[in-house]
Every structure is written in C-alpha cells, then in structure tokens.
Structure 1
Amino acid sequence: MFLPGIHAETDTAVLLQFIRENPLGILITNIKSSQQDFLQCTHVPFVLDLPDESGESAPQGRLRAHIAKQNPQVKAMIEAVDNQPPNILELDDDVLVLVNGKYDHYVTPKFYVETKPDTGKVVPTWNYAAVQIYGKLSLYYDSKTPETGAFLEKQLHDLSEHTERSIMGYTGGDRPQPWKVADAPERYIELMQRNVVGIEIRINKIEGKFKMSQEKRNGDRDGVVKGFASLGGETGEAISALVNVRGELHDLKRQ
C-alpha cells in the first residue's frame, strides 16, 4: 500500500478499531503449488483479538477466521505444509490481509471550488480508507483434534456475537435478541465445522491510511465536504464527515 505521510494513520488503536468496525477482509497468500494458483485471495470476516487479549505470543494482536476446506487457497496451504502434524499447520511466509473502509467514492474536480476556477489544475481522484496487516498464519485443519475443535467453537461463537451485535445492532432489550450458534441444531453445526478450517494470524505489522482530501487547500476541502453532503444518502454524508474530521486532524498536526 502506498502510504504518503499526509494520508497515513500511525495510531495502532485507530487501526485496530477500524478492523473491528470493518470485519470483512481479504486474505492474500503467495504459495508455490503444483495445482493451485501462486497468488490466492479470499474474502472473509475476521474476529480481532486485541493485544491485551492475545498474550505474549501475539503482542500486536491476532486475527481469527474460518474458511471452506475446499477453498483453493486452503488446498495450497495444505500442500505447502504437508509434512507437519495435522492439528495445527503454520505457513513459513507472512500473509497479507487487506481491510477496506465501508465508505469510498469518486471525487469530481468540480468539488475543488478554490483551485478549479483559479488555475484549472485539478484532476479526479478517489477517496477511501484501508488497513493492511502482515502476520504469521496458523491453520486449524482437522476438526476432530481437540485444538481445532476448541478453536472453531470459539471462532464461530465470537464472530456471530460480534456481527450480530455490532453490525446488525441485535442487542436485546428494545432490540431483537442476537442469533446464537446454539440456535442451530448441534448436529448441523458439527457438520459445518468439518467442512471449514480455522485461520489464526499473529499480527506482525499493521498499517493504514485515510485518503480523504487532507492534502487539498482549505477552500477545495470545504468544497469536497459540501459536495458530498449535497449528494445525500449514507455514503455522501459519511464521506463528507470523514473529509471534515480528517482535514481538522491534519490542520492540528501542522500546528
């Protein structure tokens, strides 16, 4: 990821919160395989274990997920580590996870109300936010082993709990109760677990950016804020607010 200083976010707490709010990530691997593509990716929702929840073995935190056993990416992983015991497999090389923010949008030069009429030296761009994570991946492959069984049970519970409550807002009380894994037949869940593998990534490096017009002149930035506000809708209003907040943070740092 290209990280110009003006767009880079260096506060780890902010980046971790970003992952919590945007659990769907893209798991990217490069594994030499006799049958699968060298580069593989899978879209998958992640559970984040914060550093204070992860212990000394993962001082920067962990990502957890589960994906289908028949996924070509999993097959490439198995091929790469076929000489290890079947309960927990570890890849030698780092993997990459990319998490995109919920809101992104094309930015028309017409929003640059200061520079466009002044010099005309403006071009379109795209505003977005993203975080990338590098880390070591462990694969919990055999659901019959105690380690994998326990991992998958916790993973399924934690993911449904997080997404039901934070994404859907099902918190009980005046809101509906969240769906729980226990609501499904036990035999059905056992069958599902046999067909997935657990993914655990110990975070080694985390980086991110908010490209939200911080580099623009104040007049142009105000034009972007008003321009997106005028678009209306959830995305327009959200990006307008993000441009305003990120612009203010940039101005404070300059002071």
Structure 2
Amino acid sequence: MFLPSVHAETDDAVLLQFIRENPLGMLITGINSSLDFLQCTHVPVVLDAPEDCDDSAPQGRLRAHIAKQNPQVKGMIESLESKDGVITLETDVLVVFNGKHDHYVTPKFYVETKPDSGKVVPTWNYSAVQVYGKLSLYYDSKTPEAGNFLAQQVHDLSQHTEKSIMGYTGGENPQPWKVSDAPEKYVELLQRNIVGIQIRIDKLQGKFKMSQEMRPGDRDGVVKGFSRMGGETGEAIASMVEERGILHEKKKQKD
C-alpha cells in the first residue's frame, strides 16, 4: 500500500476497530502449486484483539473459514506437509479490508484552488486497512484441534455479525440467530466442507484518503459537495473528510 504520511493511520486501535466494522476481507496468497500462484478469496473474519491473545500473537489474530473446494485451499494443502489436520504457511499472507464508503471526487469541489490556478485533477476518496501475517489452515474437521477451531469460529462469527452488523441484540431488537438454531447434523455436514483460517497479525497498515492533502478551502468544498450529493455515501464521505481534515490540522500544529 502506498502510504503518504498525510493519509496514513498509525494508531493500531483505530485500525483494529476498522476491521471490526468492516469484517469482509480479501485474503491474498502466493503459493507454488499446480494451481494459479496468486489466489484471492473474500471472507468475513473474526478479530481476536491483542489483549485476548497469548504472547504468540501480540498484535492479535484474524479467524475465518472458507470452502474446502476453494482453489486457494487446494493450493495450500498441495504445497505443504500437514500435521494433525493443521498446515502453517511459510510465507506471509495479505488480508485487505475496505471501508464501506468510497467515491470519485470531481475537481469542481475544489472551490479554492480551481478558481485560483485551475491546477486540480480528479481523484478517489477511500479508506482501507491491510494485515500481513502467518496463516494456519485447519483443514480436517475430524481431528479434535480442527473440529474445535471450526465450531468456535462459526459460533463467534455468527454472533459478531448478528449483533454488530445486524444489530440483533435482544430486548427491543430481534434475537440474534445462533448456530444451535440449525439442525446439529446439518451443521456437522457443513463443517466437513469448510476449513478454518487463523492469521497471526504481524503488521497493520491503514490509509484514510479523505482530501487531507488539499487546502482548507478545497476540503470545505469537498464536504459541501458530498453533503449536497446526499444519500448514505455522500453524507458518510462528507463526515469523514471533515473529521480527517480536523485531525490533519491538529497534527500540523503539533509538528
């Protein structure tokens, strides 16, 4: 990821919260096998925060599951020797998380620089977080270690997405769906056809490209432009540009 300092987010707490709020990641691997070297799978993840992990994962872990028939999984299994139903890749993997809202930015929004010199061009505002780390694959649900991992993973993911994403928390809201709501034999069958993924987080990178590099008048024009555009995306981008602009100005004052 290209990370100009003006767009970089270096606070791990902010980056981890971003993953919680945007749990659909793109898992990218490069594996020597009879299949394509580069593979990518979109997969929702559970984040285990650093305080919930042991010393082997001081920056936290990601957990997920994907189909056993996925070519990415076949490449992993083909390339390495297994031990008790678990494979650990030798090379790092990359997981990319994108923010919910991104949008093209027209130069017409730059009300300070465009009338002054005309030296403005279009761009795209977006936010993203990248995770690098070591991946362990739990591929045989019949082994105790993989079976327990998959059961816990499926439970934790459903609880996170039902409560945090859907807002089903009980009380005045609907009750969250639980794995136990499905027939036990049906769940066992599904688990035999998936594999568990665990990634130790070794490096976090984050980028919020929200017009921070522009002059204050231009940023204000971007905020007003997206506010006029309206809708969920327009309002969200306007809010983020304003928020990131304030943070940028405070950082400049400290420097």
Q: What band does the TM-score fall into relative to the shorter chain?
A: over 0.9
Paired AA for residue 52 in structure 2: E
Paired AA for residue 57 in structure 2: A
The partner residue of 1:153 within 151, 168, 189 is 151
- Give the Å deviation of 1:86: 4.2
1:24-63 maps to which residues of 2 (within 5 A)? 24-34=24-34, 36-63=35-62
Correspondence for 1:9? 9
Report percent identity of matched pairs.
74
1:208-227 maps to which residues of 2 (within 5 A)? 208-227=206-225
Deviations 1:38-59 (A, max 9, x none): 0000000000000011111100
1:77 aligns with 2:69: no
Alpha-carbon separation, structure 2, partners of 1:111 and 1:165 = 38
SS of the residue 2:188 aligns to: helix
SS of the residue 2:207 aligns to: strand
The partner residue of 2:126 within 125, 128, 137 is 128
Paired AA for residue 241 in structure 2: V
Alpha-carbon separation, structure 1, partners of 2:100 and 2:122 = 21
Paired AA for residue 117 in structure 1: P
Correspondence for 1:139? 137
Deviations 1:56-87 (A, max 9, x none): 11000000000000000000000111x22241
- Give the Å deviation of 1:21: 0.3
CA contact (8 A) 1:80 1:91 kept: no
Correspondence for 1:20? 20
Correspondence for 1:200? 198
Stretches of structure 2 that go unaligned for 5 or more consecutive residues are none
Alpha-carbon separation, structure 2, partners of 1:85 and 1:159 = 26
Normalized against structure 1, the TM-score is what?
0.98
CA contact (8 A) 1:86 1:141 kept: no
Count of residue correspondences: 253
Alpha-carbon separation, structure 1, partners of 2:227 and 2:145 = 50
1:171 aligns with 2:169: yes
The partner residue of 1:180 within 170, 178, 181 is 178
Stretches of structure 1 that go unaligned for 5 or more consecutive residues are none
Alpha-carbon separation, structure 2, partners of 1:91 and 1:211 = 32
CA RMSD, Structure 1 to Structure 2 (Å): 0.6
Deviations 1:125-161 (A, max 9, x none): 0000000000000000100001011101110010000
Alpha-carbon separation, structure 2, partners of 1:235 and 1:115 = 25
